[in-house]
Structure 1
Amino acid sequence: MLRPLRVLLSIAVIVALCTCNQQSTPRIPISDFFKIPEKSTFRISPDGKYISYLKAYKGKENLFIQQLPDGKEQMATSFTDYPVRGDYFWTYNNHIVFSQDLVANDELKLFTIDVATLKLKNILDQQKVRISLLNRNKQQPDIITIRMNKRDPANFDIYRLNIITGELIPYLINPGNITEWYPEVDGKIRLITSSDGVDKTILFRPNENAPFRRIIENNFSTSVRPIAFTGEKNYFYALSNVNRDKTALVEVNAENGREIKVLYLCTNADIQDVEYSKNKNHLEMVRWEAAKPQKHFLSADIKSIYDKLQPQLKGTEINITDRDSAENKFIIITYTDRNPGTYYLYENKTGQLKKLGDINSTLNPQDLCKVQPVSYKASDGLTINGYLTLPQGTKSTNLPVVIMPHDGPFNQSFWWGYNPEVQFLANRGYAVFQINFRGSTGYGKAFHNAGFKEVGGKIQQDITDGVNWLISNKTADPDKIAIFGAGFGGFSALYGISLHPRLYNCAIVQHSLINFFSFIKDAPPFLKPSVKMMYEMVGDPEKDAAQLRAISPVFHTDKIRAPLLIFQGAKDDRANISELNQFVRELQKQNGSENVKYFLKPNERTFFRSEHNRLQMYAEIEQFLDKNMRVNP
């Protein structure tokens, strides 16, 4: 099994030595970009006595625990089949709850570890079910609140799970239209969101014995996202773009749904995240992206911590990712566009900052490339933002370029920071252009709505305009342009080589959308509430059938002539594998199997989690681009 990978990597090394575009730049091995993180996903126990993290053991990420007084490390799990998922958490009685996704059987297992004894217990085992944590309770430390679609695959219900006994008690049964729940610190739920896919409604109840009633009604183009109750009357904090273009932090009266006041508004970007202390019950900061990450502090205490950290961690983005209940010990992560991240432990009382570990210490930031925010005008005058990464070296014009449209198309965007794919491609001598076309999030309601019903229209024109902008300003070599995307980005890549065959040399797609009809029709049961929204944002399979057929690549294989590289996980619940197989067969018959390469991995979902599969994929990508882009010294 390993021999093909060794051959691929050996060829990649030879190719690298022969085709380096930037001779002064060291060629970084593929494994250095895409290996399992050395240490990641650090958490701290509520009592501040332990930290936990994920670390590789025999090729799989497992849980490790470190005692803070003596720094002693203990391996808490030793799985060799499937890794521990990164959404694990501590309870208030020093247990860790985590899950495993057994992809081959579509089975999810929930475990608990008693940190004092390291005793492992399987508390829940379900097939074809999705589970996520909603709340852990300080008053009842043995009880956690989870959402799960066990009763009905199409609907999530809320359960109270006893992690000691395994007792599972229904708390809120979904009538069929509830999509979001907002628990308070004590686990009570008084705010929920219902949706029919087009219209969204916020419902409120004053206590657990009262029925929910409607307080706010909006359609899918506007949004109100509750954060937490303020502690005054029945007021709550929320992110809202009602009656404004940019999402703001506001205060709302739950009795009538009326906005009381705006707490913070950014004029050029949506507020995207709010930090709220559940221990102290107050707001700490808001975050947004305006070319680069931005913060505004709402708490003097938290601002003081960041002010103390900044001089010690100069030149990095700093974020608090976890804290103990006393809010004395904090887990900190720092990162840049050229550094995937470093974790620290900060003690507020003493001001001591201790390094815990790197996500990837193999990479030297000086060998990587700057990610530069850029913008250009689309053909209709709309400003489109993105990020341009140039390879190191003196040459900055007439470069081979890889265009990267993002997935989505809605509710997603590229943001400034470290991206292993971008740095890998830049290290190989390619300029990389990440485009936030219309419909992307973060730029306001008007920009987001401008993408509706434009998945095969103005969104694709934005991408084409971006390519032409690079050509006109001499950044791109017009004879060496590739397009590389995943999901909707994969559709954009296929669309690009179909409609603009002279613009692109080749295309790479990962878990690509090839047929809008089956993409909508075959949505998993738990995504059914969003199907009507797809009708409004993407297209109605009946009313807009001609348009959806005209843009779906599966119906236009005759137009796809450029070399193509396709990767797909066989367990991806958004993919129609038989349809994709037929699509590939037709393309290979038409263009030759040497020009249409297809890799279907049996035990992978949307993203390849196997390190072996990831390394093979990027070795194939390197060879494919070298062959079709002819990157020469």
Structure 2
Amino acid sequence: MKCFQPDCIPMSFRSMLLVIVAGLAMPHFLSSAEGQTSTAEQPTSNSTEEPTLIPRSILFGNPQRANARVSPNGKWLSFLAPVDGILNVWVAPIDDLEKAKPVTKDKVRDIRGHYWAYTGDHIIYTQDKAGDENWHIYVTDVATGETKDLTPLDNIHAQVQDVSQKFPNEILVGLNDRIPQLHDIYRVDILTGDRELIQQNEGMAAYVTDDDFDVRFAFNYTPEGGTVLMKPKQAGETGEGAEWENFIETGPEDAMNTGPAGFDKSGNVLYLQDSRKRDTGALFAINLETGDKKLVAEDPRADVGSMIVHPTEKTIQAVSFNYTRDEWKILDESIRADLEYLESVEDGEVLITSRTLDDKLWTVAFLLDDGPIKFYLYDRPNKKASFLFSSRDDLDQYKLAKMHTPVIKSRDGLNLVSYLTLPVGSDPDGDGVPDKPLPLVLDVHGGPWARDEWGFNSTHQWLADRGYAVLSVNYRGSTGFGKNFTNAANGEWSRKMHDDLIDSVNWAVDEGIAQRDKIAIMGGSYGGYATLVGLTYTPDVFACGVDIVGPSSLVTLLQNIPPYWVPFMPVMKVRVGDVETEEGQAELLERSPLTRVDKIARPLLIGQGANDPRVTQLEADQIVGAMKIKHIPVTYVLYPDEGHGFAGEQNRMSFNAVTEAFLAEHLGGEVEPVGDDFEGSSIHVPVGADEVTGVAEALSKDRLEMPPKEEKAAE
């Protein structure tokens, strides 16, 4: 089971993790999964004769419905669904889904997530423009359909700091309008838009607030790459000129596995993930009045993951640990019967997505590896789950592949938790080894401070359906496996981190899974960097590579960061390298694919968003330019209205159409024709369109050139 409620982890710490420690992770969009129904109300099956290929439009198109949420007062059910092809928020009376209607009116860019304000009548969501990550916070009145921008400022990166049932008409918002590197904390009235400054940021990476909207702690990174959690010397004095003293300090070895995880109802107990004097990050409770520290939950293999928290009592009811799969430790016996019942509803992992304040209604999603997400409304007093909808009914007619969870040994003895998907029918006995070796795609996750997980994966299903084995590896540096595993990646970009990938490829060949001469490497963000490393540092291993928004030079990557990354840069110095000295730059260049372009001997496809603030267009432009100078073929796909990844449905469709044709040419898999997948997309292929069959023919002349600069700034 997993919990994605706003009250699972307080918004303050969640924002801190997502904004500061996001690193080069690709933004996940919407995944889906499906299971078999049992004791709950069952959906009607509409399966038909199994077609040959699963269309890309089904695997990568916007879901039909997703993100079910119940309002805190139990009046409304909300979800995401398309309006004229763009995902918007829909709302229905809790007892009549047929009366659902859209309440937001975004016509350009999908809304990718939302949650309820504690008024019970307002939806809150964030949105940027063309992938620039200048996030604004919006609120929609579900009765009137009026949407208000709560942060109507230019060139800002707004984040929700905290929400509280004690103040239903207000939220805390972090804004970097005064100093781009720092977020001040404002109290914002969601009805009027009025805001009041409650904490001017005087150099902190983040603040930790509580349900009373009081600033309790300040959080910062040390020059050595560690962290420090500070409390005011005088209780309650946190304003301008306030003095802070260290409360919890970590060295760089514990920086990514230790941090605050919220308060109890009284505000006198701080929950803390802590890896100090141990490997994995366990959950502790610290009594702030007495200083007593109590272990709440731990696992020797994995850091503490999600938490299920009571909506008003703030008691932690269950904690998850994810090694190969999510495993839950129940702390509150009052929910054991609920979780056991829900486990009987579908044969999949349970995600609690929202709860009413009276705790009588939950929305629950069921996640499988071989089907879409199924959403249910759970009546807790009556222990009854009623089916709401699937994210994609049109997947029902296809037989999807199962995901295996091998743990691969690296050459120096680390356990690399991995995920393998094989084409349906290629593994008759289900042991994770096909009856004959297959072409393989190594799909590398971004971050690198992120991880791959078990569950429905559109990319895995797509590539397996085309005849490939697909392998995703949690290489060293991936998070969730303890600090020793994370720290093993320090300074190892293009070195031991890449060795882990090569070891995994060799494992797949030795096990009879992969054909040695037909292995591709692909990935986004850090995964894109890994692709470029694969083709420049180990040029004979991979038959081809697909780089999506990956950095080509570690020097220019670190020299062109978003301003709000500045507080995090001491950590980057420890984990990646020192860009501020000549010696450091030389060492970073030595580990940069751009310096080894002449080693590229296999076909390369590059995808880039022109507005990417994390891995700027420069990273793609400079390696493509270097390859052109050396007359090395490359195909360059550029989107003027995208950022760090391809959020637009038609842009995703077009890039995957190019990728599918590219992989088929070099690995020999099946291909769905491009068809109309370029229509409605902003795709430009200024270099190498003729290197991929059918691409140049499908594009007009202007799309075979660099987009004009004014187009980049437009939606």
What is the TM-score with the length of structure 2 in the denominator? 0.81
CA deviations 1:528-566 (Å, max 9, x no partner) are 111121111111122433331122111221111210111
Q: How does 1:348-363 map to 2 (within 5 A)?
A: 348-363=380-395
The one-letter amino acid paired with 2:572 is: M
Residue of structure 2 equivalent to 1:40: 66
Aligned-pair distance for 1:108?
Answer: 4.5
Greater relative CO, 1 or 2 (CA 8 Å, sep 6+): 2
The one-letter amino acid paired with 2:75 is: K
Do 1:196 and 1:529's aligned partners in 2 also have CA atoms closer than 8 Å? no
Which moved further from structure 2: 316-325 or 134-143? 134-143
Distance 2:90 2:374 in 1: 17
> Secondary structure of the equivalent of 1:492?
helix
Residue of structure 1 equivalent to 2:220: 194
Distance 2:133 2:437 in 1: 48
Q: How does 1:119-198 map to 2 (within 5 A)?
A: 119-176=146-203, 178-196=204-222, 198=225
- 1:57 aligned to which of 57, 67, 83: 83
Do 1:129 and 1:153's aligned partners in 2 also have CA atoms closer than 8 Å? yes
Aligned-pair distance for 1:579?
Answer: 4.8
Count of residue pairs the alignment pairs up: 604
Residue of structure 2 equivalent to 1:3: none
- Are residues 1:287 and 2:320 paired? yes
Distance 1:365 1:166 in 2: 47
Aligned-pair distance for 1:488?
Answer: 1.2
> Secondary structure of the equivalent of 2:345?
coil
Query: For the structure 1 residues 366 and 120, does the alpha-carbon distance in structure 2 shift closer, same or farther, using more than 3 Å as the test?
Result: closer
Do 2:528 and 2:546's aligned partners in 1 also have CA atoms closer than 8 Å? yes
The one-letter amino acid paired with 1:213 is: E
CA deviations 1:462-494 (Å, max 9, x no partner) are 111111111112211111110011111111111
Distance 1:554 1:233 in 2: 51
Which moved further from structure 2: 605-614 or 129-138? 129-138
CA deviations 1:53-107 (Å, max 9, x no partner) are 1110111111111011343212212321233341443232522223332228876
- 1:317 aligned to which of 334, 341, 349: 349
Distance 2:451 2:165 in 1: 36
Residue of structure 2 equivalent to 1:299: 332
Aligned-pair distance for 1:591?
Answer: 4.3
Do 1:138 and 1:186's aligned partners in 2 also have CA atoms closer than 8 Å? no
Do 2:133 and 2:157's aligned partners in 1 also have CA atoms closer than 8 Å? no
CA deviations 1:187-224 (Å, max 9, x no partner) are 22213312235131112348534654321111232143
Do 1:35 and 1:611's aligned partners in 2 also have CA atoms closer than 8 Å? yes
Which moved further from structure 2: 323-332 or 202-211? 202-211
Residue of structure 1 equivalent to 2:410: 378
- 1:623 aligned to which of 657, 661, 673: 661
Do 1:107 and 1:126's aligned partners in 2 also have CA atoms closer than 8 Å? no
Distance 2:483 2:138 in 1: 41
Q: After the TM superposition, which parts of structure 1 deviate over 4 Å for at least 4 consecutive aligned residues? A: 104-109
Which moved further from structure 2: 203-212 or 567-576? 203-212
Query: For the structure 1 residues 93 and 430, does the alpha-carbon distance in structure 2 shift closer, same or farther, using more than 3 Å as the test?
Result: closer
Segments of 5+ residues of structure 2 without an aligned counterpart are 1-49, 428-433, 672-715
Distance 2:394 2:615 in 1: 35
> Secondary structure of the equivalent of 1:616?
helix
Distance 1:529 1:209 in 2: 23
Do 1:92 and 1:136's aligned partners in 2 also have CA atoms closer than 8 Å? no
Distance 1:105 1:596 in 2: 26
Distance 1:583 1:97 in 2: 40
Query: For the structure 1 residues 631 and 230, does the alpha-carbon distance in structure 2 shift closer, same or farther, using more than 3 Å as the test?
Result: closer
Residue of structure 2 equivalent to 1:219: 251
Aligned-pair distance for 1:582?
Answer: 3.2
Q: Superposition RMSD on alpha carbons, in Å?
A: 2.2
Do 1:339 and 1:365's aligned partners in 2 also have CA atoms closer than 8 Å? no
Aligned-pair distance for 1:231?
Answer: 5.1
Do 2:311 and 2:356's aligned partners in 1 also have CA atoms closer than 8 Å? no
Aligned-pair distance for 1:182?
Answer: 2.8
- 1:270 aligned to which of 269, 294, 303: 303
Which moved further from structure 2: 546-555 or 199-208? 199-208
Distance 2:82 2:441 in 1: 32
- 1:94 aligned to which of 116, 121, 125: 121
- Are residues 1:554 and 2:598 paired? no
Distance 1:408 1:289 in 2: 18
Query: For the structure 1 residues 266 and 110, does the alpha-carbon distance in structure 2 shift closer, same or farther, using more than 3 Å as the test?
Result: closer
- Are residues 1:80 and 2:99 paired? no
Residue of structure 2 equivalent to 1:481: 519
Do 1:369 and 1:390's aligned partners in 2 also have CA atoms closer than 8 Å? yes
Query: For the structure 1 residues 83 and 378, does the alpha-carbon distance in structure 2 shift closer, same or farther, using more than 3 Å as the test?
Result: closer
- 1:440 aligned to which of 452, 475, 478: 478
> Secondary structure of the equivalent of 2:341?
helix
What is the TM-score with the length of structure 1 in the denominator? 0.91
Segments of 5+ residues of structure 1 without an aligned counterpart are 1-23
Do 2:166 and 2:211's aligned partners in 1 also have CA atoms closer than 8 Å? no
Query: For the structure 1 residues 412 and 424, does the alpha-carbon distance in structure 2 shift closer, same or farther, using more than 3 Å as the test?
Result: same
Residue of structure 1 equivalent to 2:703: none
Do 1:108 and 1:126's aligned partners in 2 also have CA atoms closer than 8 Å? no
Residue of structure 1 equivalent to 2:572: 534
Residue of structure 2 equivalent to 1:251: 285
Residue of structure 1 equivalent to 2:445: 406
> Secondary structure of the equivalent of 1:98?
strand
Query: For the structure 1 residues 300 and 562, does the alpha-carbon distance in structure 2 shift closer, same or farther, using more than 3 Å as the test?
Result: same
> Secondary structure of the equivalent of 1:244?
coil
Which moved further from structure 2: 600-609 or 262-271? 262-271
Aligned-pair distance for 1:259?
Answer: 6.0
